[in-house]
Every structure is written in C-alpha cells, then in structure tokens.
Structure 1
Amino acid sequence: MKFLKAVLIVFFLLSVPQLSLAEHAPSPVNELDDIADQALQLTKAGKYEEAKQLLNYFSEEFTAQSMHQSFSMDELRILTISHNLALETINQASAGIEQKVNAVTRFRLVMDALSSHYQPLWVEMEDPIMEAFKGVKTAAESGNSKQYHMELNMFLAKYNIIQPSIKLDIPVEQAQALDARISYLDHYRHQVLESTEAMAELSTLQTDLEHLFENKKEDEADPSLWWVIISTGSIIVSTLSYVGWRKYRGQGEARTSERQKN
C-alpha cells in the first residue's frame, strides 16, 4: 500500500512541469508563427484566397503588436522580404502551385527561425537538398551538360527556400561563404564541366552543406527540457530508494520481533 502511494506521488510530480507549462499563454511571436503555418497549410490545399487573407492578417498583427521592436534590422529585413514575396506570389495568377507553396514555405521557415531557438524547421529540408545536390554532382562527374543544368536548377530552387532562414541561424561569415560558393556554381555553370577547379568547388560545397546541417542538429534540446528530465529522474530515484529503505527496515523489524517472541 505504501509503495502504491509512493508511485502515485511520483506520477503527480511528473505532471507538475507539464501543468506549469500549460498555464503559460503563447507569446505574440508564437502566435505569428501559427498564422504563418496556417497560411502555408491553406496554400498547400490550394486555398489561395484564404492564404492571402492570413498573410495580410499577419502583417496587421505584426504592426499592431509592434513586434518589429523585438527584431534586429537584418531580421526585420529578411522577414519583410520573405513575407512580401509570399504575398506577391500568391497574388500571381500565372504562378503555379509549386511556386506558391515554395514562396509561402520560405516565409514560414523564416518566421519559425525567429520564433524558435531549437530544432528549426529548415533543418528538416536536409534530405531533399542533399539529394538534389547529389544529382548535380553526379551529372557533373558524368559530363552530361543538359542533365547538369537541370539538376542545378532544381538544387538552387530548393536551397532558395531555406536560404533566408539559414542567415538567421548561422554566423554571418558562414552564411556568406556558403552563398559565395553557390553563386559561383550558378554564375560559372557553363565552365564547371570543363574546369578541374570548378569540380573541386562541388566537393567543397558538399562538405559545407553537410556541416551546415550537422552543426545545427547538435545541441538541439532545450536546456529547460534537460532540467525537467534530470529533476524527474532524481525524484524517481529518491522515491524508489526511500521505498526500498522503508521496505528493508520493515523486514528487519519483523525479523527482530520474531526472534524476541521465540
């Protein structure tokens, strides 16, 4: 019975951090992030008018809450550009669904990078981007010019989606170096298949991209989450140790009483 009571106490203590977190209302930044996410979902569903209304609502809320005061000039510039591009693309009748989705996704990832300090959504683009780059490198190594240009265009389109978010999450020097390598491949794309130096740039860029995702995935856990885990573990160990000690003490007292009776 005592053991059951101890277990119930442990479960109660485990629920306290969750209840505490639930009591906190979402911050204005998180609310804006939710609006951006809803706009993206509507765009994917082909509901462009509703998505347009949400993008306009985002702008109104952003201004009303004076959220621009919470961001640096660079952050504000990147957010404004990505928002304007998303709204402009949504309004273009000639733009296809992929263009619209890519533009709103780009904006969504920027807002996420500004609102979350851990596990940014752009990191989840690792597989499609690395797969696209693999196609570029394979086409270049085989000397297939037509395939190379097609694969490079696909890679650039995918990288363009996460580029603004990357600038918000990594050091300026690293972002500039990465952009410089990608711009070099795009600008001198006709010479890549004929130049050993340009081919070496492909290998260097691959290494840079791998480091980009690997470094960002390191230490993604929120320190507060580790505190909860450590605290919870300590509570469990302490409780079980106490229960075990009480049980051992009770058994010892029972044996002593039995010997006294004999």
Structure 2
Amino acid sequence: MKAKLISIFIVIFMIIPIYVSADVEESSPLTELDQISDDALQMAKLNKFEDAKKLLEYFSKQFLTITGKGQPFTMDELRIVTISHNDALEAVTSASMDQPERINRLTQFRLVMDAISSKNQPLWAEMKGPIMTTFSQVKEAATNGDNIGFHETFNSFLTLYEMIYPSIKIDIPADRVQQIDARINFIDEYRPQILAQATSQKELQALETDLESIFDEMTEDEADPSLWWVMISTGSIIIMTLSYVGWKKYKGDKQSKKDFKREFKE
C-alpha cells in the first residue's frame, strides 16, 4: 500500500505545473504578499522546504511592515492569516509531518491570501467540483448503508473542506458559515444515526444545498484565464489527499477530528 501511495505521489508531482504569474501593470502590498504565498507553495511542491521556509519568514516581515503602515486587514482577516501562516510554517519545518498534510497546509495558506487580495472569483471556489463530487459519494454511501464507504468519503470531504475553510470565513458572512458548521458537526457527531435513519439523512441534503449556494455565489463571474493553473494544481493535490486519508484517518486520527471541531468553534 505504501509503495502504491509513493508511486502516486511521484507521478502527481511530476505533472503539477509550476505557476508563473503574468506581468501586471499595477502592484500592491497585498498582491505581493499573495505572490509570496504562491511561491512558498511552489517550493513545497518541489520538496524545497528550506526555500519555502525562507519565503514564509520573508512574508512575515513584509506582513508586519504593511500592517504597521496602516490597517489593510480586518481583525478577522488578521487572525485567519496569522493562524494559516503559522500552520504553513510548521509544515515546512516539520520533518515528521506527512507530505500530503504539509502541501495541504501551504495550499490552505495560499488560498487565504488569494481570498483577501483577489477582487474577482477566489481560487478556493475552483474546488467546487471535487468537493461536491466527494459529498455526492457521501450521500450515496449513506443511502446504501455502506458503513465503511460513508466514513471514508465523509473524512475525505472533511479534509477538503478544511483546506478551504479559512478562505470561506473571509468571503462568506459569519452567520452562513456557522449554519454550515452546525450541519457538518451534527453529521460528524451522529454518523451512526445518519447511516441508520432516513430522516437524519435529510441533513445531508440540507448541507449539500448550503454548499452549492456558497460556491454558486462565488462563481457567478467567469474565471480569470490566468487562474486556470490552480484547477490542475489543486486537482492533483486532491487526488493525493484522497489516497492518503480514507479508512486510516477514520480509525486512528481522533486528535485531528477534535482539532477540526475546535477550529469550527473559534
């Protein structure tokens, strides 16, 4: 199994393109920070974690300089950027952390910075396809009473949703995010009932509707062609992530589940 995952991991990283940003006529401190976050992600994809660390440390200095000159961020944005940056920095300095988790954290940080700096469609919205596809598999497993399939696919959904969750909190009103949080927490807490009772499965349909709503709201405008790279890049990461999560996470990763719930309550 490990050999198979390693083979998939190598192939995925061979096909992930390196993003080269287009020249822009105007530059701002926010776009520069956004670019640094992207550069750090690209270095991590190439296993150049020392270079990624240097970029993240440089980001921290630039971030402090920008915030010291004014207040371009809200308090919520400051908190989200700080937490996601710390998580990314931990990922590039932790040799014991699994490779997929390290890349996921850098991707999460990248999506946060884009959500703050972008004026148009955010990159996190490009993950609608894989997230909704995975959630459809959750519903199918629940309908069929497939216990193992339900736990595997729901854990995969949680992993993907966690990747974009900080970005969602930037772009989506707090009350709507809290509504989605409540539905996810209910399904996660009462998995046996969701599997056993058709009435409880209505929560799955309600959550699917909420998710569709926030994605549709953010994808009304046509995407910038220069951002299509992220669909390929994040798609590859998702394949790697889903290969890694599965049943292993359901049986042994209890602490991650607690941390995930704690993040929703913040």
Say yes or no: does 1:122 pair with 2:124: yes
Letter of the 1:42 partner, please give it: M
Query: What TM-score does the superposition give when structure 2 sets the normalisation length?
Result: 0.72
Matched with 2:203 is 201
Letter of the 1:45 partner, please give it: L
What per-residue deviation string (whole Å, max 9, x for no partner) do you get for residues 141-191 of structure 1? 110111111111100000000011011111111111111111111121222
Q: Which segment drifts farther, 156-165 or 178-187?
A: 178-187
* Cα drift, residue 22 of structure 1: 5.6
1:97 aligned residue (96, 99, 107): 99
2:86 aligned residue (81, 84, 87): 84
Find the structure with the greater CA-based Rg.
Answer: 1
Matched with 1:46 is 47
How many residues end up aligned between the 2 structures? 201
Q: Which segment drifts farther, 191-200 or 127-136?
A: 191-200
What per-residue deviation string (whole Å, max 9, x for no partner) do you get for residues 88-127 of structure 1? 1222212122101110111110100000121100011111
Say yes or no: does 1:74 pair with 2:81: no
Matched with 2:135 is 133
Matched with 1:231 is none
Query: What TM-score does the superposition give when structure 1 sets the normalisation length?
Result: 0.73
Are 1:46 and 1:97, in contact at CA under 8 Å, matched by a contact in 2? no
The structure, 1 or 2, with the larger RCO (C-alpha pairs under 8 Å, 6+ apart) is: 2
Aligned mates of 1:126, 1:22 — CA distance in 2: 27
Aligned mates of 2:186, 2:56 — CA distance in 1: 34
What per-residue deviation string (whole Å, max 9, x for no partner) do you get for residues 45-97 of structure 1? 11111111111111111112226721111111011111111111222212122
Q: Is the alpha carbon distance of 1:96 and 1:142 closer, same or farther for their aligned partners in structure 2, counting shifts above 3 Å?
A: same
Aligned mates of 1:22, 1:145 — CA distance in 2: 51
SS in 2 for 1:70: coil
Matched with 1:212 is 214
Matched with 1:61 is 62
Structure 1 gap segments, 5+ residues each: 1-20, 223-262
Aligned mates of 1:115, 1:23 — CA distance in 2: 16
Aligned mates of 2:223, 2:143 — CA distance in 1: 39
* Cα drift, residue 217 of structure 1: 1.2
Aligned mates of 1:170, 1:134 — CA distance in 2: 23
Q: Which residues in structure 2 correspond to 1:239-250 (within 5 Å)?
A: none
Letter of the 1:191 partner, please give it: Q
Matched with 1:234 is none
SS in 2 for 1:66: helix
CA RMSD between the two structures = 1.8
Letter of the 1:216 partner, please give it: M
What per-residue deviation string (whole Å, max 9, x for no partner) do you get for residues 190-231 of structure 1? 221112332000011111111111111124689xxxxxxxxx
1:155 aligned residue (151, 154, 157): 157
- Percent identity between the aligned chains? 51
Aligned mates of 1:121, 1:210 — CA distance in 2: 16
